[in-house]
Each structure stands twice: as C-alpha cells, then as structure tokens.
C-alpha cells in the first residue's frame, strides 16, 4: 500500500512538471522576488527528491533472527549438535525475505526499522514542503483549484475555494512524523536482553504509516485539481524586471567591468 501510493504521487508530479515546463514565473528566495524560473522546474525538484527516497525505500530489508531465546543457539545445539546452525538459520531467514543478523540478544536489533522509518519521515518532510509551496502558489494566484459546481469552499463565504486537501495532508503528515520520530530513536534502546517498554510503541507502526498514506492521497487529490494560471505568473514576472540583475552583473563581469555587482545594485536595489 505504501510504495504504490508514493509511486502515484511521483507520477502525478512528473506529469505536472512536464505539462508546466514552459510556465515562466518568478522564483522566490526568502519570500522575495528572485531570478526567473518555471513552475515545471520547481515541481520537478520535488519529483526528483521523492524518487531518490523512493529508490532507497525499495531497497530496505528488515533484519531477522533465528538463534534461540538469548541469541546463542543454546537449545538448537543441545538438540542437534551436528548441524551448522549459523549457516542453516541464515538461509532460513533469507527465505523469509529478511536480512539475517547473527549476533543478537533475545530480540533482533532495530536499526533496519529505524532506517525504514527515517526514510518515511524524510518523504513526509518533502511532501510537507510541497504542500506548503503549492499553498503559497495558490495564495499568489499562480494556481487555481478546480472545484465541483455544488462544492462548498467556506461555511460563510461562497466565493472561497480553500486548499483543504493540502491542509489536511499537512496535518496528517505532521502526526505521522511525530510518531515516526519516536519510533526512529526509541526502538534502538532496550535493557539487557530485552524489556517490554517498546511493546506499546510498536503497536503504532500502522498508525504512523496510515497517517502518511492519508497525507499522500490528499496531496495527490490536490494536484489533480490544480489549474495553472500562466498569465498571472508571467505578468508578475514582468512587474519585477529588477530580477534580471543577476544575469546583468554576471555579463558585466564577463566583459571585465570592475565592481559590476555594486554598479548594478545601485540601479536596482529598493527600486522597481
């Protein structure tokens, strides 16, 4: 369930990036107008980041063990001393789709689970950042949400088209990451051979992953409803010709102009 929905999200982003590759707009650094970009390129950044995490997630193999009550093969050797138990149990554990760990206590070390949950939390952070950027683009008028004819956008303001999918996704992913953070750091700690303090915590694996999946689905829903206002994007860029000063000062440096940066700055800073 987890991998397929992340795959759909990446495909939706790739499609949106391709569709909007020629939609020129202002970029924004520190929230301020900056050098031109395209909406497609900005979305492609998120697709690339998610693909990197996705490929790593697919390669995760959880650890497993089959070595007795305290990890020493005691009873196995007592019953069948002629068998090479380390070799046999390694093969058995691998057949179960797990990565065998030879040296363990009563429980298998949890590093592989921590690595897995870290990757999920990293994916969640990327999607959270995507949600927030799309939310801001909507507030700038660069994007519009397509809504159904009778769909209510606000309880009191009929004109509203609130980005509720993005906001719902944000809330779900924040809940997920709060649980994942606990899992990442807590699971690696145990007293001696084992204790049960992590038992209740482990029962929340599904809760953290479920909130993650809900978050991805709501983001996918929002992306499918986006309409790009390329005219607004272009007009906003044309209203800020000062952002071309980056290229201008580089060209002046190329031509050997001294103090090119400051020459350009005095003509553009605090001016439009």
Alpha-carbon separation of residue 97 from 93, 112, 117 (angstroms)? 7, 13, 18
Task: Output the pLDDT for position 30.
Answer: 93
Judge if 34 and 50 occupy the same domain.
Answer: yes
The total domain count for the chain is 2
Q: How many CB atoms lie within 10 A of CB 67?
A: 23
Active-site residues, by number, are 30, 154
- Residue pLDDT, tens place only, 136-152: 999 999 999 886 666 66
Judge if 158 and 212 occupy the same domain.
Answer: yes
Judge if 108 and 224 occupy the same domain.
Answer: yes
Q: What is the pTM of this model?
A: 0.90
75, part of any domain: no
230, part of any domain: yes
The set of residues, in sequence order, having a beta carbon less than 8 Å from that of 81 and lying 6+ positions away, is none
Judge if 211 and 199 occupy the same domain.
Answer: yes
Inform me whether the pLDDT recorded for 178 exceeds 90.
yes
Judge if 136 and 270 occupy the same domain.
Answer: no
Judge if 127 and 257 occupy the same domain.
Answer: no
pLDDT band at 195 (very low <50, low <70, confident <90, very high): confident
d(CA 211, CA 226): 23
- Residue pLDDT, tens place only, 121-130: 999 999 999 9
Structure tokens at 210: 């479920």
Dihedral pair phi/psi, residue 154, rounded to 5°: -150, 150
- Residue pLDDT, tens place only, 32-55: 999 999 999 999 999 999 999 999
Judge if 177 and 235 occupy the same domain.
Answer: yes
The residue whose two tokens read 């982003």 is: 13
Q: The dihedral of CA 136, 139, 141, 147: what is its sign?
A: positive
Judge if 234 and 249 occupy the same domain.
Answer: no
d(CA 54, CA 43): 16
Judge if 53 and 127 occupy the same domain.
Answer: yes
Dihedral pair phi/psi, residue 144, rounded to 5°: -135, 150
Q: State which residues form the domain around 252.
A: 242-272
108, part of any domain: yes
């Amino acid at each position: 369930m987890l991998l397929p929905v992340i795959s759909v999200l990446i495909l939706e982003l790739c499609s949106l990036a391709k569709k909007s590759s020629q939609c020129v707009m202002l970029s924004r650094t520190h929230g301020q107008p900056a050098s031109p970009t395209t909406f497609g390129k900005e979305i492609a950044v998120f697709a690339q980041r998610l693909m990197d995490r996705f490929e790593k997630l697919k390669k995760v193999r959880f650890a497993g063990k089959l070595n007795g009550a305290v990890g020493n093969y005691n009873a196995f050797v007592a019953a069948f001393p002629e068998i090479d138990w380390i070799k046999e149990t390694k093969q058995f554990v691998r057949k179960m789709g797990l990565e065998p760990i030879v040296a363990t206590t009563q429980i298998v070390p949890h590093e592989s689970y921590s690595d897995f949950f870290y990757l999920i939390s990293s994916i969640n952070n990327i999607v959270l950042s995507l949600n927030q950027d799309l939310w801001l683009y909507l507030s700038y008028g660069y994007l519009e949400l397509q809504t159904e004819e009778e769909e209510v956008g606000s309880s009191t303001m009929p004109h509203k088209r609130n980005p509720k999918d993005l906001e719902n996704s944000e809330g779900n992913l924040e809940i997920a990451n709060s649980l994942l953070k606990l899992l990442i750091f807590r699971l690696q700690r145990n007293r001696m051979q084992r204790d049960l303090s992590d038992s209740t915590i482990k029962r929340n694996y599904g809760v953290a992953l479920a909130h993650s999946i809900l978050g991805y689905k709501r983001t996918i829903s929002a992306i499918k409803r986006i309409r790009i206002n390329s005219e607004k994007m272009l007009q906003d860029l044309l209203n800020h010709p000062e952002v071309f000063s980056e290229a201008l000062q580089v060209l002046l440096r190329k031509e050997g102009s001294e103090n090119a940066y400051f020459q350009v700055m005095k003509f553009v800073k605090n001016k439009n």
